[in-house]
Structure 1
Amino acid sequence: MTKHWLSGVALLAALAFSGAASAQIKMGVAGPITGPNAAFGAQLVNGTQQAVDDINKAGGILGQQITLEQGDDVSDPKQGVSVANKFVGDGVKFVVGHFNSGVTIPASDVYQENGVLFITPSATNPKVTDRMLWDAFRTCGRDDQQGLLWAEYARDHLKGKKIAVVHDKTTYGKGLADAALDDMHKFGIKEVLYEGVNTGEKDYSAIVSKIKESGADYLMWGGLHTEGGLIIRQMRDQGMKTVMISGDGITDNEFSQIGGPGVEGTLMSFGPDPRNNASAKDVVAEFKAKNFDPEAYTLYSYAAVQIIKQAAEATKSLDPKKIAEYMHSGKTFHTVIGDIAYDKKGDRTSVDYVWYTWEKAPDGKITYVQNKS
């Protein structure tokens, strides 16, 4: 009898321990971990992982540790849906991602149907949030906000200049280019060329020839850094001095590696560099100690995890729907990229896009530097 009683106690203790051990918060991070956009996937993964590590060291969220699962969507919409379904099957309730708008939108249907809250650090297409999904948020801005900045620049600084507009036919690239064009047309500015190109190609000589024939002084590029870098390199090979204007899709130093010296002078729109925020100082130091530069969307991903933590603690709940309701209420969250509050759509209530110029740093590397005015 004594032996059986002790076994029962041991069993109960084991069950209690396993229950405590299994009380974990399952989170996913999704993006192009491999493929041509892997540099951006690294930003999302590293930013999310560092936030999870820091929060877990401090005791987790509501006393529970976070476990993080990675999903590689390779910037492909179908693969993005597969990643989303796998997350659901694995019990993931919170997702940081995806990177591309064209992947985020179809994946979001899976999340909203299965009780998963997601915050994208980088998907800027308006459709991500305009559909009023209960669970959709972003730490970045929108294409219509960024497109207006481009149009205003053309109006205020490029009078008499010829402007070509080229996009990569993706939800993001075409969406951004079209947003800029719509506002340019409202300002009475007409482009000399409007074309789309296919992603993943190596030879862009055909579009480069068209840009050259148009006499464009400036090229507005709606797309990512890989194709943008190749287009610049091939423009320079043809002796062209056309200046590229692009956006957050080229915010990785790989852009200059692909484009070469010819990327100097490229204008780029993005949010104010979060690496300069006082609130990010310690986190930036952590990254640099690991020999990783937390550029672009790295800290936007870190901030997404901070927001989930703060909302969970405010509601004293890990229910994604309760957390989403709180996030939609306009409350302010303090993050490494600054204070963030959300509207009913899941968009930030205030976003500032600023200009950067790609230029040679003292160490000889060509990188982007925020303009002073």
Structure 2
Amino acid sequence: MASAPAWAGDVVIGFAAPLTGGSAHYGTDLKRGVELALDDANARNLKIGGQPVHFVLEAEDDQGDPRMGSQVAQKLVDANVAGVVGHFNSGTTIPASRIYNTAGIPMVSPTATNPTLTAQGFSNVFRVVNSDAQMGKLAGQSAVQALKGKSIAVIDDRTAFGQGMADEFVKGVESAGGKIADREFTTDKAVDFKAQLTKIKSSNPDVVFWGGLDQQAGLLAKQMRQLGMRAILLGGGSFENDNFLKVAGSSAEGATSWDYGIPLSKMKTGREFDEKMKKKYNEGVVAYAPAAYDAAWVLINAMQKANSTDPKVYGPLVKSVAFEGISGNIAFLPNGDMKDPMATFYKVIDGKWVPQAVAVGDKVGPVTN
């Protein structure tokens, strides 16, 4: 007796990210990107394995917590999802990836950047975003070369993302011939950074690098100015959005950061995608929805190549997927990292993030129209 193919008919795509808490704006944005991808796939009436398929989303809130991330990952595995888009935080993605790997389920993260994720040697773990190794190097070199930092201080939130980015930033500074004058740390729940900043202030830094997310970065910017610090605040993929600007207020002026990918306005179909977001959700792209959209299509394209929705069949083909996505060209290195990740250097001018330079891989050039 022949058994029916796995996931015939409805094909369940798992998703996990913080949908509550301080990073919920990111998680919601990512979820919307995946939803739009599945909407578009369903509108094409795709057939895989000779059968019409309908993609449905199984979304879970991991709260940005590693323990909850592992619980959510197991829940998605138990639900027999065909693949997973997620998670958001590196600290949740890394332990979750081990669970997906054991189950043989492909996972594509739109945002997890810590190098450990793809250094584990798992064949079914991918990301459509730069790693901290590249972003930290770019930020570190720019602190010395573009920002002319002679005295550079670092503060991070001790998360897998924040500390990982800060570690790579230090390497980038040193590779460019710069020196770190001071390094401090806090937690991802802190709201008062005056103790760390007072200590940092004594080294009279030109540049202060923040390894962490946007809301705390905004508070950090405010408290720097309250203490009379005139140093440039620099980030690496952590606060290039309006949320930081709202929290920081006038203290945001002059802040700089390397952000993942390229500006929405520079994406080939970025404006069209933003309009689709507004039409469905009454809100445009917040940050990484285009990457989430592309991550979902990585899984779908691999299924089409394999002519199967069974993870064990299509999983080995994910690494060979290559296409022009919303966020840029999608293609992978053998370890699951992006082949030519893109990044943009921004500066706050007149209360807005203004692109200053773009990097493709290790090559940095001016922003072009």
Q: What TM-score, normalized by structure 1, do the two folds share? A: 0.88
Conserved? CA contact 1:327–1:341, under 8 Å: no
What is the CA–CA distance in structure 2 between the aligned matches of 1:55 and 1:152, rounded to whole Å?
Answer: 41
1:233-259 residue CA offsets vs partner (Å, 9 max, x unmatched): 111222222211102121332111112
Change (3 A) 1:274 1:324: farther
* Residue equivalent to 2:333: 343
Instruction: Report the CA distance between 1:358 and its aligned residue.
Output: 2.3
Select between 27-36 and 311-320 the one with higher mean Cα deviation.
311-320
Distance 2:293 2:149 in 1: 43
1:45 counterpart letter in structure 2: K
Task: Quote the residue 2:243 is aligned against.
Answer: 254
Q: What does residue range 268-287 of structure 1 map to in structure 2 within 5 Å?
A: 268-270=257-259, 271-287=261-277
Question: Which residue of structure 2 aligns with residue 27 of structure 1?
Answer: 13
2:309 partner amino acid: L
Which has the larger strand fraction? Answer: 2
Q: 1:214 to 1:68 in 2, by over 3 A?
A: same
Separation in structure 2 between the aligned mates of residue 304 and residue 186 of structure 1, nearest angstrom: 32
Shift of 1:278: 2.1
Residue among 280, 283, 302 paired with 2:293 = 302
Larger helix share, 1 or 2: 1
What root-mean-square deviation, in Å, do the aligned CA atoms of Structure 1 and Structure 2 show? 2.0
Cα offset for 1:21? 11
Is 132-141 or 252-261 further displaced after alignment? 252-261
TM-score (norm 2): 0.89
Instruction: Quote the offset at 1:29 in angstroms.
Output: 1.3
The answer on 1:317 being equivalent to 2:304 is no
Q: Which moved more, 1:169-178 or 1:188-197?
A: 188-197
The answer for the alignment partner of 1:43 in structure 2 is 29
- Tell me the CA shift for residue 20 of structure 1: 12
Per-residue deviation, 1:369: 2.5
Q: CA deviation at 1:288?
A: 2.5
For the pair 1:355 / 2:345, whether they are aligned, the reply is yes
Contact 2:66/2:91 (CA < 8 Å) preserved in 1?
yes
- Which residue in the other structure is 1:141 paired with? 130
Q: Could you tell me whether the CA contact under 8 Å between 1:121 and 1:297 is conserved in 2? A: yes
Are residue 79 (structure 1) and residue 68 (structure 2) matched? yes
| More moved, 76-85 vs 59-68 | 59-68
Cα offset, 1:22, TM superposition: 6.9
Matched residues, number: 349
Preserved CA contact (<8 Å) 1:135 1:321: no
SS of match in other structure, 2:238: helix
- Does structure 2 conserve the Cα–Cα contact (< 8 Å) formed by 1:55 and 1:61? no
2:113, 2:79 → 1: CA distance? 27
Q: Which one has the largest radius of gyration?
A: 1
Match of 1:368 in 2: 353
Quick one: distance in 2 between partners of 1:61 and 1:73? 32
Alignment of 1:130-169 (within 5 A): 130-159=119-148, 161-169=150-158
Q: Is the 8 A contact 1:118 1:136 kept in 2?
A: yes
User: In the TM superposition, what is the alpha-carbon distance from 1:188 to its structure 2 partner?
Assistant: 2.9
Structure 2: which 5+ runs fail to align? 358-365
Unaligned 5+ runs, structure 1: 1-18, 361-365
What letter matches 2:43 in structure 1?
K
Q: 2 CA distance for matches of 1:228 and 1:78?
A: 25
Asked whether the 8 Å contact 2:150–2:179 carries over to 1, the reply is: no
**Quick check: 73-82 or 190-199, which moved more?**
190-199
Confirm or deny: 8 A CA contact 2:149 2:206 kept in the other structure: no
* Counterpart secondary structure, 1:249: coil
Partners of 1:214 and 1:228 lie apart in 2 by 20
Bigger mean CA deviation after superposition, 110-119 or 56-65: 56-65
User: 2: CA distance between counterparts of 1:314 and 1:82?
Assistant: 31
Counterpart for residue 168 of structure 2 = 179
The corresponding residue for 2:111 is 122
Q: Identical aligned pairs, as a percentage?
A: 33
